[in-house]
Amino acid sequence: MKGWLNGIGWVTAAGCNGGRNFDQQPLCAGVVETPKRKQVFANPDLRFGRLDKFSKIGLGAIAFCLRDGDAEQWEEKRQIGIVTASRYGCLQTDIDYLGTMVPDNGALSSPKYFVYTLPNSFLGEAALRFGLTGSTLVLNQTDTTGGLAAIRYALEELSWSEQPAILAGICDLDPPINLATEAGYPGSLFMLLSKEPSTTVSSYGELELRDGEIIFAGAKVADFRSLVGAALGILER
């Protein structure tokens, strides 16, 4: 099961950017700033300001990823899927929504928040903006997969389905303090995995799922962060 890594984009503590414009590890500790519309889209986007923070960072990372892979522009809808792994999902939005529901016994429940109390809502935002008609879903991130759950899933789907490309990545905000763990980094980072190498930009390399291991450019990948490092050519110290 193979796929070409044609684009990388993120909104993390390192800021928001695409892989071709950056030479540092974007998955790092720190505060993830909510991106402004102008940082993500050059043109006005009326809905962007209404999104919750989880959706803004996820949508932003997908936008930067597609831009990095020269796949942002479209005329006809494309059968590209999105697979996201998330540890906490939209928990913060759930809590914000309950902040509107609980005080007045539901009388002032916010429909604006409620729409984003599903972790896959932002995938719909991405799908409609970029014409993506593949399968879109959110998986729970686990500690046993090294943060590679979405990459594994995407490589399998590329092999088993007709989708020519899948965006695979992570999306997480900081959790409530009592649920915080050492694992993972806050923010969102997506990779554009395609059955074929891009014809307009250079690919980062080929990924393979072989005997349960993720292989990138011929070497086994331990976790998601090292995959990002290897793709960007960063020497981890």
Partner 1 sequence: MRRVVISQIATLTSLGAGLDSLWQSLLNGETGIAPVTRFDCKNYVSNYAACIDGLDAPANGSMLDTILAQLAEQLGDLPTDCRLLVASTKGEVDLLTDACRQQEEVPATVVAAPFVEKIAQQFGIEGSAININAACASSTLAVARAAAQIAAGDADAVLVYAADLVSEFVFSGFSALQALSDQPCRPFDANRNGLTLGEAGVALLLTSEAAAKQRNETPYAYVSGWGMANDAHHVTAPARDGNGLILACQQALKKANIANSEIAAINAHGTGTIYNDAMELTAFNAIFSADIPPMHGMKGSLGHCLGAAGGVEIAVGCKALQQQLIPATIGCQEAEIAAQGQIKSEVQKISGDYILSTNSGFGGINAAVVLQGVA
Q: Position of tokens 């879903």?
A: 137
> Do the Cβ atoms of 135 and 157 come closer than 8 Å?
yes
Radius of gyration of the CA atoms of the chain, in A: 17
Selected from 36, 159, 219, 233, the binder of partner 1 by CB under 8 A is 159
Q: Among 143, 196, 213, 220, which residue sits at the site for partner 1 (rule: CB under 8 A)? A: 143
CB 173 within 8 A of CB 186: yes
In whole angstroms, the minimum distance from the beta carbon of 185 to partner 1 comes to 17
C-beta closer to partner 1: residue 21 or 133: 133
Q: Which of 162, 182, 211, 236 binds partner 1 (CB under 8 A)?
A: 162
| Interaction of residue 117 with partner 1, rule CB under 8 A | yes
- Asked if 79 and 164 count as a contact pair (C-beta separation under 8 A), the reply is yes
Binding positions for partner 1, 11-70, rule CB under 8 A: none
Q: Quote the least distance from Cβ 142 to partner 1, whole Å.
A: 5
User: Three-state DSSP class for 52?
Assistant: coil
Residues 71-110 that bind partner 1 (CB under 8 A): 77, 79, 81, 86-89, 91, 94-95, 97-99, 101-102, 104-107, 109-110
SS3 category, 109 = coil
Q: What is the DSSP string of 8-27?
A: EEEEETTEEEEGGG--S-S-
Q: How does DSSP classify residue 55?
A: H
- Applying CB under 8 A, which residues contact partner 1? 77, 79, 81, 86-89, 91, 94-95, 97-99, 101-102, 104-107, 109-111, 114-115, 117-125, 127-128, 130-143, 149, 156-157, 159-162, 175-176, 178-179
